[in-house]
Chain A
């Protein structure tokens, strides 16, 4: 291999570097595993700093998406990054941006998490791409991810559409050697000329929607010609269609066991119809290898089920979870030795809250405070503190989606539950909790919202939190009675006092907010280290 101009990068970092080289003017994102490292890379890149690339964190995925779209409207290239469930938050903007179209290139990077390593579900973002009728790119490896970002920006500008760029955890969080290509400058400021085109009033929206539909044959034609969709010839009547990273697992098996099975690799959507038809007509048994949902397996099988297509639906591959070389080997009929079992002596070691974490003392206080009530339900949310659902605390009863603690506690209060208690992190509160708080205030609900404020987005590695230093003002501004905005410091020595504050607010017939403030132990260590280096 050539030693010049190569770097060892995570897939996420390869995407980031490629976007810089492709001439973006800004990246917009809310942290979320496995997508966080894309934006972090740009934030730390000297190249981005020199070029003045906008890169600080957004409050949530929707604000991120809309800002990226605004940058595109102004004629510049922008990238927006999120985890798969983040696209649910941004879905309104996402779907409609397919109708407005884009001006400067807009690439939407969505990192899916099959097997739910760090997520609540394993939804497949390609479905969203199909839903919005926009091109989807799905690289199979890190180098291809780098190369495809350039291509995706060109495609976006050529077709005037956002391009969905899907990477799974395994590609995002795996390092490989990357060769960079040439860099190009940013676009100049060049706002859209036809000012009416992006006004989605019904009359315009119908016209734009028709245009989107009219673009579909051209998108298919581009997929037919794409270098990222290619056929690897072979022999026999069995074949594989491998999508995105599944191609790697297939190739691992074919090279290891010297199998000469034909493979059609798909990395650009919509499906190249002609290529797929010609390929499928030639073989009797075709394994559909997809990472995530059996989206195209279902489509190719058809409503009544053509049995020559095999995959996740008929058990040839596991129905859930991420693919693996072993799963593909089995599906391709390779006899593999049964792996050794994990010895019985090995105990589970689940993730847990750090020693010295303020959430620990908060959960202890909540549990103590609730002891005197017959109903002890705490609505939880997404972050490190979700671990409060596990022993030894068992404090939290729910974790659904960002901000749901607030609104679910409100709904339970409406149903008559007392006390109705929610625990939400500071970053999750600003992400999606504020609007729910306004609902509760307007309704005069009897709820206690505990904001566990550790001044950071801790779960994803300590990114800036949008509301740091503003929580009291936010709650006051929304209309929470000042007497019922309470500050506690979750420390052992304050336990009795904190329990008393919580009980006072649990008993209050109205909206109360308890802000539990203590710096994240991890960011504290980092901050002290940084300070020591500066001194």
Chain B
């Protein structure tokens, strides 16, 4: 198997946590993993991305080639579109619906969602509402991980195991809240 995933959002939204959980699940399965991150200046409220590649074969490039991403998993709708050059023709965009507005010229929301809809196969998620339902707005990123789960070629149980491992240091209540967020994010929930 081989999956190329672009994770996107705004600095501080929790992309790297989302990436770390997927990494962990993939590593537990004995898969090869490469995950390029953004550190430094861009993290200051700017657009951030992570290239995540998992495969049963050796992975060479840390960067996903343009046109080869299977999934764009975005915590923010405008940021989902920023990485469109990377998406393969058959690729899927999975994005939270809620905009993150920290710039004066943020585009019209309706038009933005329409652009996503006509651009690619897509899943739009009311992540903020589901995160609140899970118990904390902070679980926003794990809700989105749930929404992306069917497209990652990793068993749900393995992702739940990785969530448990990742959050275990923060105590059982945090683990359970994130498991709830993950399940709420899954389609048909």
A228 interface residue, CB < 8 Å from B? Answer: no
**Is the Cβ of A252 less than 8 Å from the Cβ of B112?**
no
A174 contacts which of B10, B34, B67, B81 (Cβ < 8 Å)? B34
**Is the Cβ of A342 less than 8 Å from the Cβ of B36?**
no
Stretch of B99-107, B130-138, B151-159, B179-187 at the chain-chain interface: B99-107
**Per-residue 0/1 for B76-110: is the Cβ within 8 Å of any A Cβ (1 yes, 0 no)?**
00110110111101000000000000110111100
Min C-beta distance of B75 to chain A, whole Å: 13
How far, in angstroms, from A329 to B68 measured CA to CA in the complex? 13
A341 interface residue, CB < 8 Å from B? Answer: yes
B41 interface residue, CB < 8 Å from A? Answer: yes
Min C-beta distance of A352 to chain B, whole Å: 5
Chain A residues lying within 8 Å of B11, measured Cβ to Cβ, are 351
- Count how many pairs of residues, one from A and one from B, have CB atoms less than 8 Å apart in the complex: 155
**Is the Cβ of A459 less than 8 Å from the Cβ of B111?**
no
Min C-beta distance of A16 to chain B, whole Å: 15
**Is the Cβ of A118 less than 8 Å from the Cβ of B40?**
yes
**Is the Cβ of A459 less than 8 Å from the Cβ of B41?**
yes
Stretch of A3-11, A296-304, A440-448 at the chain-chain interface: A3-11
Stretch of A153-161, A332-340, A408-416, A449-457 at the chain-chain interface: A332-340
How far, in angstroms, from A33 to B37 measured CA to CA in the complex? 12
How far, in angstroms, from A470 to B66 measured CA to CA in the complex? 50
Min C-beta distance of A512 to chain B, whole Å: 30
B residues 34-93 in Cβ contact with A at 8 Å: 34-47, 51, 59-67, 78-79, 81-82, 84-87, 89
A349 contacts which of B63, B84, B86, B102 (Cβ < 8 Å)? B102
A364 interface residue, CB < 8 Å from B? Answer: no
**Is the Cβ of A325 less than 8 Å from the Cβ of B65?**
yes
B36, B67, B79: which has the most chain A beta carbons within 10 Å? B36
B35 contacts which of A3, A175, A339 (Cβ < 8 Å)? A175
How far, in angstroms, from A528 to B106 measured CA to CA in the complex? 32
**Is the Cβ of A117 less than 8 Å from the Cβ of B37?**
no
Chain B residues lying within 8 Å of A37, measured Cβ to Cβ, are 39
B34 contacts which of A34, A176, A337, A339 (Cβ < 8 Å)? A176
Chain A residues lying within 8 Å of B45, measured Cβ to Cβ, are 349, 351-354
Min C-beta distance of A521 to chain B, whole Å: 11
B38 contacts which of A141, A173, A248 (Cβ < 8 Å)? A173
- The answer to whether residues A175 and B41 also contact, given A325-B61, A342-B81, A343-B115 and a CB cut-off of 8 A, is no
**Is the Cβ of A34 less than 8 Å from the Cβ of B39?**
yes
- The answer to whether residues A343 and B119 also contact, given A174-B34, A177-B27 and a CB cut-off of 8 A, is yes
A350 interface residue, CB < 8 Å from B? Answer: yes
Min C-beta distance of B136 to chain A, whole Å: 15
**Is the Cβ of A170 less than 8 Å from the Cβ of B63?**
yes
- The answer to whether residues A326 and B66 also contact, given A341-B84, A349-B103 and a CB cut-off of 8 A, is yes
- The answer to whether residues A346 and B107 also contact, given A8-B23, A171-B62, A175-B35 and a CB cut-off of 8 A, is yes
B32 interface residue, CB < 8 Å from A? Answer: yes
B65 contacts which of A177, A256, A340 (Cβ < 8 Å)? A256
A177 contacts which of B33, B36, B78, B85 (Cβ < 8 Å)? B33
How far, in angstroms, from A336 to B39 measured CA to CA in the complex? 30
B24 interface residue, CB < 8 Å from A? Answer: yes
Chain A residues lying within 8 Å of B62, measured Cβ to Cβ, are 170-171, 174, 176, 245, 248
Chain B residues lying within 8 Å of A313, measured Cβ to Cβ, are none
**B residues whose Cβ falls under 8 Å from a Cβ of A:** 10-11, 23-24, 27, 30-47, 51, 59-67, 78-79, 81-82, 84-87, 89, 102-103, 105-108, 111-112, 115, 119
A sample of 25 inter-chain contacts (CB < 8 A) reads A8-B23, A8-B33, A33-B41, A118-B39, A174-B62, A175-B34, A175-B37, A176-B35, A176-B59, A245-B62, A324-B63, A325-B66, A336-B66, A339-B86, A342-B84, A342-B85, A346-B78, A347-B103, A348-B47, A349-B46, A349-B47, A349-B102, A351-B42, A387-B44, A461-B39
Given A249-B60, A461-B39; 17 other pairs, CB 8 A cutoff:
A8-B23, A8-B33, A117-B41, A117-B42, A141-B60, A174-B35, A176-B35, A177-B33, A324-B66, A337-B89, A342-B82, A343-B84, A345-B112, A349-B79, A351-B46, A352-B45, A384-B44
